[in-house]
Amino acid sequence: MNDLCLTNTLRLLQSADQIKARLSGDFASVHGLSVNEVFLLLHLEQAPLHRLSRVELAKRMHVSASTVTRMAAPLEKIGVVARQTDERDARLAFVVLTESGLEKVHEARVTFTKQAGYVFRDRWTQEDLEQLSGLLHRLIADAPGNLT
Amino acid sequence: MNDLCLTNTLRLLQSADQIKARLSGDFASVHGLSVNEVFLLLHLEQAPLHRLSRVELAKRMHVSASTVTRMAAPLEKIGVVARQTDERDARLAFVVLTESGLEKVHEARVTFTKQAGYVFRDRWTQEDLEQLSGLLHRLIADAPGNLT
DNA sequence: GCAATGTACTTGCATATGCAAGCAATATGC
DNA sequence: GCATATTGCTTGCATATGCAAGTACATTGC
């Protein structure tokens, strides 16, 4: 039982590393973005008003606040996100998706979908996929920022 | 169908990030190792003669060769791995697990198993776990260096 | 046998990231 | 209301990592 938990955890992490390695090449060449940058944009896309505070982004991406600060800077420079302050709380500095950023994330989603298709290309039935989807959902259902 | 592939890929990557974040704290405090270092040791543990060349390690870990070179250095310094050359091919520089390294990896496996138990702690039946195990296995079955 | 090519590893440089400290604004206790 | 604590963000420093170039060795083609 516990060994099965270990097996599953190892397989999950190894699968993720493998998939991430495949994705990173594509995003870099097609969109000039890293996998993590695409995830940041996806989080903003699904957020109300297409914006999130930096700490909220950090929590959802499982990175530190400083990482979000530093990831946002170049994304601002290329115009896909902007900085927005809150009227009530001057500490808050939202990261908000721009029009251009919304386009970018739609393009990235196409690439992502295509690559995701390759990952499961062989011998995966609709039923298999739904089964996996359901099981994985249980791992992230309670966490904030589920992108699915 | 393709959307299901995307959903699964997103969920897989998000689950992995979440789990990795949980693990990293534990390995650091309990063993003084990073998650990636533990994976390196696990790869060596399961390899014939408990050793692998640096490029082989790089492939299995989905990192660059230079990363392996640099990861091995501090691990050598603390004595858990050693460098070993090949008689036939002087280019090869194996990373080999020492006795101390073997102990370390057994300890780390205990921690890993415990944390893996927490990940699946609630409402996961034996059958659920076996189902997930089987599905994830198909994602990494063909890749070299499956740790399970 | 030797030149050309390929492979294994290392290193310099650039980027990415976490932690701890610092700063500014808000919230809390009294 | 004011001192203290907390929160959100940024920055300095250390570590981690990839890419490209360099080095040493092996393999191939002739």
- Binned at pLDDT 50, 70 and 90, residue A31 comes out as confident
Residue B147 included in any domain: no
- Binned at pLDDT 50, 70 and 90, residue A136 comes out as very high
Residue B7 CA from chain centroid, whole number: 25
Residue B68 included in any domain: yes
Strand order in the sheet with A93-97: A51-53, A93-97, A81-85
The structural domain count of chain A equals 1
Question: pLDDT of A40-92, one tens digit each?
Answer: 999 999 999 999 999 999 999 999 999 999 999 999 999 999 999 999 999 99
Q: What is the DSSP string of chain A?
A: -HHHHHHHHHHHHHHHHHHHHHHHHHHHHHHS--HHHHHHHHHHHHSGGGEEEHHHHHHHHTS-HHHHHHHHHHHHHTTSEEEEE-SS-TT-EEEEE-HHHHHHHHHHHHHHHHHHHHHT-SS--HHHHHHHHHHHHHHHTTSTT---
Round to a whole number and report the distance in Å from the CA of A88 to the C1' of C26: 10
Residue B123 included in any domain: no
Task: Label the pairing between strands A93-97 and B51-53.
Answer: unpaired
Contact status, residue A129 vs residue B5, Cβ threshold 8 Å: yes
- Please report the pLDDT score of residue A104 as a whole number: 95
Residue B121 included in any domain: no
Which tokens in the block code for residue A29? 């060449």
Please name which of B63, B111, B115, B25 lies closest in space to residue A12, comparing C-alpha atoms: B115
- Please report the pLDDT score of residue B34 as a whole number: 95
- Please report the pLDDT score of residue B31 as a whole number: 82
Chain B interface, best mutation among A2, A9, A10, A36, by max B CB count within 10 A: A9
- Please report the pLDDT score of residue B147 as a whole number: 94
Parent domain of B95: 27-112
* Each residue's pLDDT expressed in tens, for chain B with a length of 148 residues: 779 999 999 999 999 999 999 999 888 888 889 999 999 999 999 999 999 999 999 999 999 999 999 999 999 999 999 999 999 999 999 999 999 999 999 999 999 999 999 999 878 999 999 999 999 999 998 888 899 9
Residue B128 included in any domain: no
- Please report the pLDDT score of residue B27 as a whole number: 87
**How many CB atoms within 10 Å of residue B83?**
13
Chain A residues with CB-CB distance to B109 below 8 A = 6
Q: What's the CATH number where A76 sits?
A: 1.10.10.10
The helix/strand/coil state of B141 is: coil
Question: pLDDT of A76-132, one tens digit each?
Answer: 999 999 999 999 999 999 999 999 999 999 999 999 999 999 999 878 999 999 999
- Please report the pLDDT score of residue A9 as a whole number: 97
Contact status, residue B61 vs residue B43, Cβ threshold 8 Å: yes
- Binned at pLDDT 50, 70 and 90, residue A25 comes out as confident
Chain B residues with CB-CB distance to A2 below 8 A = 113-114, 116-117
Contact flag B61-A17 (C-beta cutoff 8 Å): yes
Phi, psi of B95 (to 5 degrees): -100, 120
Mean pLDDT (chain A) is 94
Chain B residues with CB-CB distance to A4 below 8 A = 126, 129-130, 133
* Total count of residues recorded for chain B: 148
Tell me which of B10 and A27 has the higher pLDDT. Answer: B10
Round to a whole number and report the distance in Å from the CA of B89 to the C1' of C1: 21
- Residues ≥6 apart with Cβ < 8 Å to B7: A133, A148
Residue A38 included in any domain: yes
**How many CB atoms within 10 Å of residue A124?**
19
Residue A142 included in any domain: no
- Please report the pLDDT score of residue A144 as a whole number: 84
Read off the amino acid at residue A130: E
**How many CB atoms within 10 Å of residue B34?**
15
Please name which of A119, A96, A108, A144 lies closest in space to residue B17, comparing C-alpha atoms: A144
Contact status, residue B96 vs residue B81, Cβ threshold 8 Å: yes
Cα–Cα dist B71/B53, whole Å:
13
Residue A68 included in any domain: yes
- Please report the pLDDT score of residue A123 as a whole number: 85
